[in-house]
Structure formats: C-alpha cells, structure tokens
Amino acid sequence: AEEQRFKDEL
C-alpha cells in the first residue's frame, strides 16, 4: 500500500 495525500478530498 502507498502512503499519499488524498488530493481529491475536501
């Protein structure tokens, strides 16, 4: 699994 910032979330 990859750790990342969810850019599509509010």
Chain residues binding other proteins by CB under 8 A are 1-10
Structural Rg of the chain based on CA atoms: 8
Upper half-sphere CA count for residue 9 (Cβ side, 13 Å): 3
Q: Please, what is the minimum distance in Å from the beta carbon of residue 2 to other proteins?
A: 5
Q: Smallest gap, in angstroms, from Cβ of residue 7 to other proteins?
A: 7
Cα(10)–Cα(3) distance, rounded to whole angstroms? 18
Q: How far is the CB of 3 from other proteins (least distance, A)?
A: 6
